[in-house]
Amino acid sequence: MKLGLLMPLGINPFKNNLYTDIEEIASNYLDTLWVRDVPIASNYDNDLGSWYDPFTYLGFLARNLRNTNCKLGIATINASIRNPIITTKEILSIQSLTDNKFILGLGGGDKKDILDLFNVEAIDKEKLVGKFLNHLNSSIILKKDNFIKGGTYALPENYKPPEIHLASSSETIWSNSPNILNGWMVWYLPPKLFKEKLNKIKKLRNIDQVTLSLNLIIKKEDILEVGVYKGITCIYVSINRLKEFFSLYKNMGVTQFLVSIIYSENFVYDIIRIKDILEEIAY
């Protein structure tokens, strides 16, 4: 089973030794270390991720992971509000500087108040995601030959195009997108709905990678319940029940579980606990 971890962890991870231990965590437990792209910095939700630019943050993490095989991903770039030309250069930089370890998660959803700040109408999201994908398809990041000038490579000779995983269930986007998608990313869906959507997508595209993203609140009690914490859909779950959950979705086609570990206000972040949790579930 492949396991991914969504960063950052806690309200202020710089108050602990997370970044001195991240190489050990990545080497022992993770297939991919992910960061999120939150368009607007905000102090309302206590989400440190909203303060970080994802590409800058990945560059910082890459330095700590240079001696590991752990990949680095963004879950997910909002294609409906990002400039595809500038983002292409950012993608190219990360892929080149991380020895081809980058995975691009690409989506188009966001709340109306966020879209309004970028003068984007919700009705146009699918069209803008499609435009972004078409730009990537014709861009330099997927065509190394475009860099050959006078026999000199402007990129490392071992450069490979990054993986692109689409975080959308829109049949319109999947059916109209160029053939550059490697996988599907999806936040938690109940088993029946998940299977229905995956079957529809596989009829449109031959993908072999499926990432299921989960917000987890780890409990000692023998529990597996879906609930809402501070407006976020979370799974309250014990380690044993989580293993059962992983087995169920793995049998339905999930190839990687991307976990975000959520803490309540009275939880004091402890890197040892993160290691314990990952050691238990990374089987």
The pLDDT, as a whole number, for residue 268 is 45
Residue 235 lies in a domain: no
Mean pLDDT on 183-209: 94
Give the domain extent around 106: 2-210+241-252+263-281
**Could you give phi then psi for residue 61, rounded to 5 degrees?**
-65, -35
Which of 53-62, 147-156, 183-192, 248-257 is predicted least confidently? 147-156
Mean pLDDT on 65-76: 92
Residue 226 lies in a domain: no
Mean pLDDT on 49-72: 87
Q: Which residues contact 220 (CB under 8 A, 6 or more apart)?
A: 238
pLDDT band at 154 (very low <50, low <70, confident <90, very high): low
Question: How many residues belong to the chain?
Answer: 283
Residue 227 lies in a domain: no
Q: In this model, does residue 149 exceed pLDDT 60?
A: no
pLDDT band at 18 (very low <50, low <70, confident <90, very high): low
79-101: string of b/e by CB count within 10 Å (b at 16+)?
Answer: bbbbebeebbebbbebbbebeeb
Which of 38-42, 94-98, 133-137 is predicted least confidently? 38-42
Q: In this model, does residue 102 exceed pLDDT 60?
A: yes
Pick 14 or 252 by higher pLDDT. 252
- For residue 75, what is the domain's CATH number? 3.20.20.30
Mean pLDDT on 69-87: 92
Residue 124 lies in a domain: yes
The pLDDT, as a whole number, for residue 269 is 46
The total of other beta-carbon atoms located within 10 Å of residue 244's CB is 11
pLDDT band at 44 (very low <50, low <70, confident <90, very high): low
Highest mean pLDDT among 35-49, 141-155, 208-222: 208-222
Residue 24 lies in a domain: yes
Pick 273 or 238 by higher pLDDT. 238
Q: In this model, does residue 10 exceed pLDDT 60?
A: no
Pick 151 or 263 by higher pLDDT. 263
Q: What is the 3-state secondary structure (H, E, C) of the chain?
A: CEEEEEECCCCCHHHCCHHHHHHHHHHHHCCEEEECCCCCCCCCCCCHHHHCCHHHHHHHHHHHCCCCCCEEEEEEEECCCCCHHHHHHHHHHHHHHCCCCEEEEEECCCCHHHHHHCCCCHHHHHHHHHHHHHHHHHCHHHCHHHHEECCEECCCCCCCCCEEEECCCCHHHHHHCCCCCCEEEEECCCHHHHHHHHHHHHHHCCCCEEEEEEEEEECCCCCEEEEEECCEEEEEECHHHHHHHHHHHHHCCCCEEEEEECCCCCCCCCHHHHHHHHHHHCC
| Cα-based distances in Å from 113 to 40, 121, 122 | 11, 10, 10
State how many domains the chain has: 1
Residue 51 lies in a domain: yes
Residue 234 lies in a domain: no
CA pair distance 129, 85, nearest whole angstrom:
13
Q: Which residues contact 234 (CB under 8 A, 6 or more apart)?
A: 215, 216, 217, 226, 227, 228, 262
Mean pLDDT on 206-210: 92
> Is 125 in contact with 80 (CB distance < 8 Å)?
yes
Q: In this model, does residue 46 exceed pLDDT 70?
A: no
Mean pLDDT on 173-192: 93
Mean pLDDT on 177-182: 91
Percent of all residues in the chain with a pLDDT value above 70, rounded to a whole number:
82
The pLDDT, as a whole number, for residue 272 is 59
Residue 225 lies in a domain: no
CA pair distance 46, 6, nearest whole angstrom:
16
pLDDT digits (tens, 9 = 90+) for 239-253: 899 999 999 999 999
